[in-house]
């Protein structure tokens, strides 16, 4: 117990001040307060009054003296720690704390740190807590260091809250990434499902279409076989035979047209691109058109293209115009007007068209017109808005294919209720068209000419032999390329009708070899479909013609006449 003057330093009104006044100083290394250094007394009375968390470690044993604000930070170490060497009370962190205190004591240099972690046991368990700390030296009266004054501020709560926040942010980010990944996975799954669905829809459409075409072909075949059968039964009934033959040929025509459209759609048909006299082609075609669209539609033509030639395949162009007329007819069930016009024009800067001179062929109807969605898809193969059996969706794709293959283009202008105008652009050319229809078999040449038929199909050979006989030619046949070449050498035929697709040597090969000995040998290629690239070099010779199966005797006649009439 000290005297009242000695205990005056503890009379600060603080709880710890009261404890210290009652303190048994004989238990403390600091000894009786009346012998304390003046610096210790001053510092202690200052810290007891302060509201900041302050602990003073005095002397070489770092005896702890602290204030009311500091006491809670050490939990159940208080009041045991008061007035005792720090090592006793802070034993669990002494290895950490001692070097800090010692360094301040030895060097006099202040140590400070923010959010400094300390491992402490203060509530019956160990935990890591955080403090902003400032440890500074308190001088003794002799120029040395008497103690270490620690002003601290516990930041554990904030540090833990920040850590928790960072943690949940990280978890959120993680979750987000996982979520993104899940969304991506789901989207990919969805995309796969869509692809599968589209594929299934396509297959279904192809299935329906094949069914539709098979149905159409069956009807055509019915017409053909029916007529032939009738002819066989009553071959002597001349009047009816020619009517039956006519009906059979008409059915075959329709079949040929349908096959042509399928081929144009598959873009593999070899077009016979040449110069076309637009006006005469259209004028010559007007009757066919009129018959096709029927009397309820008024057909007018305005052809301002006399003497103008354009590049294209005449048969395909006629088919294209026919397809447009059929569409127009379907769009005008109650009748209407169909207006076909041709004029010269010069185009520059048009998408997918070279700058230059063109013929514009427009086909305009006063029908229902098309919505934007229909117009956009109209050229798509198999796109149709018509009922099963009414349309295959191939008409416009034939138009598109033909125009593009001959360096032209096609455009649609249409809106619901305002009718439709389809414009075809064909490249102009100065080259004179061939005039096959005006040529005829020269009377003196025909009987002498022998034509070599090369085809692996016996029915085709028979048809060709009979046709040539009808036309006044004699014929020899060969079943394959190798024997054909022998015949060419042996009898020097006037012309060759050459199938393209044959086992062994194909038509192009045969033609090439035959022309090695006879460069000007007239050759007619008979093609069932698309022997395209391989055929081009031999076929483009002026001594060649191309006939698409099925062809008629008349077409064979024209081709032969043309080739054999050449002066060179």
Ligand X SMILES: Nc1ncnc2c1ncn2[C@@H]1O[C@H](COP(=O)(O)OP(=O)(O)OP(=O)(O)O)[C@@H](O)[C@H]1O
| Candidate residues 33, 212, 223, 395; the one interacting with Mg ion per rule CB under 5 A | 395
Q: Is 386 in the site for ligand X (CB under 6 A)?
A: yes
Binding range to ligand X, per CB under 6 A, among 287-295, 327-335, 352-360, 510-518: 327-335
CA dist list (Å): 394 to 216, 283, 307, 391, 401: 13, 25, 32, 8, 10
Q: Which of 460, 442, 553 is closest to 498 using CA atoms?
A: 460
151, interface contact from ligand X, Mg ion, none, CB < 5-8 Å by kind: none
Q: Which of 266, 254, 310 is closest to 532 using CA atoms?
A: 266
Binding range to ligand X, per CB under 6 A, among 80-88, 290-298, 389-397, 514-522: 389-397
Long-range contact list for 8-13, CB < 8 A, 24+ apart?
9/33, 9/41, 9/44, 9/45, 9/48, 10/45, 10/48, 12/45, 12/48, 12/49
Cβ(389)–Cβ(300) under 8 Å? no
| Candidate residues 391, 433, 528, 550; the one interacting with ligand X per rule CB under 6 A | 391
| Candidate residues 212, 248, 393, 522; the one interacting with ligand X per rule CB under 6 A | 393
- Per CB under 6 A, which of residues 74..133 are in contact with ligand X? none
| Candidate residues 14, 362, 392, 527; the one interacting with ligand X per rule CB under 6 A | 392
For residue 126, the cross-strand partners are 121
Q: Is 338 in the site for ligand X (CB under 6 A)?
A: no
Number of residues that bind ligand X (CB under 6 A): 23
| Candidate residues 53, 327, 429, 475; the one interacting with Mg ion per rule CB under 5 A | 327
Q: Is 396 in the site for ligand X (CB under 6 A)?
A: yes
Sign of CA dihedral 179, 184, 190, 196: negative
- Please state, in angstroms and rounded to a whole number, the distance separating the CA atoms of residues 401 and 323: 13
11 by Cβ neighbours in 10 Å (0-12 / 13-18 / 19+) ranks as middle
- Per CB under 6 A, which of residues 343..372 are in contact with ligand X? 365, 367-370
Lay out the site mask for Mg ion across 285-324 (x = CB under 5 A, - = otherwise).
Answer: ----------------------------------------
- Please state, in angstroms and rounded to a whole number, the distance separating the CA atoms of residues 370 and 354: 28
**Cβ of residue 341: shortest distance to ligand X, in angstroms?**
15
Binding range to Mg ion, per CB under 5 A, among 37-45, 172-180, 326-334, 470-478: 326-334
Q: Is 385 in the site for ligand X (CB under 6 A)?
A: yes
**Cβ count within 10 A of residue 429:** 19
What is the signed CA dihedral for 557, 560, 564, 566, rounded to 10 degrees?
A: 100
**Cβ of residue 205: shortest distance to Mg ion, in angstroms?**
17
Q: Based on CB atoms, which residue is closest to Mg ion, 74 or 363?
A: 363
Q: Based on CB atoms, which residue is closest to Mg ion, 43 or 327?
A: 327
Cβ(66)–Cβ(79) under 8 Å? no
Q: Is 73 in the site for Mg ion (CB under 5 A)?
A: no
- Please state, in angstroms and rounded to a whole number, the distance separating the CA atoms of residues 356 and 349: 10
83, interface contact from Mg ion, ligand X, none, CB < 5-8 Å by kind: none
Q: Based on CB atoms, which residue is closest to Mg ion, 396 or 487?
A: 396
The residue number whose beta carbon is nearest to ligand X equals: 395
Cβ(428)–Cβ(408) under 8 Å? no
Angle of the 314-331 helix axis to the 278-293 helix axis, nearest 10: 40
| Candidate residues 50, 374, 446, 534; the one interacting with ligand X per rule CB under 6 A | 374
Which DSSP state fits 528? S
Which residues contact Mg ion (rule: CB under 5 A)? 327, 395
Which residues contact ligand X (rule: CB under 6 A)? 323, 327-328, 331, 365, 367-370, 374, 378, 383-386, 391-397, 420
């Amino acid at each position: 117990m000290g005297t009242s003057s000695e205990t005056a330093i503890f009379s600060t009104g603080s709880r710890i001040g009261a404890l210290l006044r009652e303190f048994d100083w004989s238990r403390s290394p600091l000894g009786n307060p009346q012998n304390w250094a003046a610096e210790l007394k001053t510092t202690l009375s200052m810290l007891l009054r302060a509201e900041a968390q302050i602990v003073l470690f005095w002397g070489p044993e770092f005896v702890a003296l602290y204030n009311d604000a500091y006491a809670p930070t050490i939990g159940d170490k208080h009041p045991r720690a008061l007035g005792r060497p720090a090592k006793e009370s802070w034993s669990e962190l002494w290895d950490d704390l001692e070097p800090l205190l010692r360094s301040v004591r030895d060097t006099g240099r202040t140590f400070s740190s923010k959010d400094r972690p300390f491992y402490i046991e203060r509530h019956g368990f160990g935990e890591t807590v955080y403090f902003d700390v400032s440890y500074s030296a308190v001088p003794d009266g002799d120029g040395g260091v008497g103690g270490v004054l620690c002003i601290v501020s516990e930041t554990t709560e904030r540090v833990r809250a920040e850590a928790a926040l960072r943690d949940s942010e990280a978890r959120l980010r993680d979750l987000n990434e996982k979520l993104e990944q899940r969304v991506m996975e789901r989207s990919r799954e969805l995309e796969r499902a869509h692809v599968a669905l589209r594929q299934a829809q396509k297959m279904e459409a192809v299935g329906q279409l094949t069914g539709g075409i098979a149905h159409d072909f069956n009807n055509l075949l019915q017409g053909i076989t029916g007529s032939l059968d009738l002819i066989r039964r009553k071959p002597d009934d001349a009047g009816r035979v020619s009517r039956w033959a006519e009906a059979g040929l008409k059915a075959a025509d329709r079949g040929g047209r349908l096959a042509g459209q399928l081929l144009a759609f598959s873009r593999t048909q070899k077009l016979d691109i040449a110069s076309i006299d637009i006006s005469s082609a259209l004028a010559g075609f007007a009757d066919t058109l009129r018959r096709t669209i029927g009397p309820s539609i008024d057909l007018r033509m305005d052809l301002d293209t006399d003497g103008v030639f354009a590049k294209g395949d005449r048969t395909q162009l006629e088919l294209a115009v026919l397809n447009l007329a059929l569409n127009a007819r379907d769009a005008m069930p109650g009748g209407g007007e169909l207006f076909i016009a041709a004029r010269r024009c010069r185009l520059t800067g048009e998408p997918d068209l070279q700058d230059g001179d063109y013929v514009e062929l427009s086909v305009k109807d006063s029908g229902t017109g098309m919505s934007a969605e229909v117009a956009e898809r109209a050229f798509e193969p198999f796109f149709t808005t018509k009922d099963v059996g009414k349309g295959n969706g191939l008409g416009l794709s034939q138009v598109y294919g033909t125009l593009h293959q001959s360096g032209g283009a096609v455009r649609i202008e249409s809106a619901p209720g305002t009718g439709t105008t389809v414009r075809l652009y064909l490249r102009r050319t100065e080259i004179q068209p061939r005039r096959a229809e005006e040529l005829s078999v020269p009377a003196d040449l025909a009987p002498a000419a022998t034509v070599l038929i090369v085809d692996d199909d016996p029915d085709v050979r028979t048809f060709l032999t009979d046709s040539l006989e009808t036309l006044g030619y004699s014929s020899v046949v060969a079943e394959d390329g190798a024997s054909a070449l022998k015949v060419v050498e042996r009898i020097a035929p006037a012309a060759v009708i050459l199938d393209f697709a044959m086992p062994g040597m194909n038509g192009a090969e045969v033609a090439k070899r035959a022309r090695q000995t006879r460069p000007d040998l007239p050759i007619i290629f008979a093609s069932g479909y698309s022997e395209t690239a391989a055929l081009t070099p031999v076929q483009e010779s002026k001594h060649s013609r191309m006939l698409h199966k099925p062809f008629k005797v008349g077409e064979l006649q024209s081709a032969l006449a043309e080739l054999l009439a050449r002066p060179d």
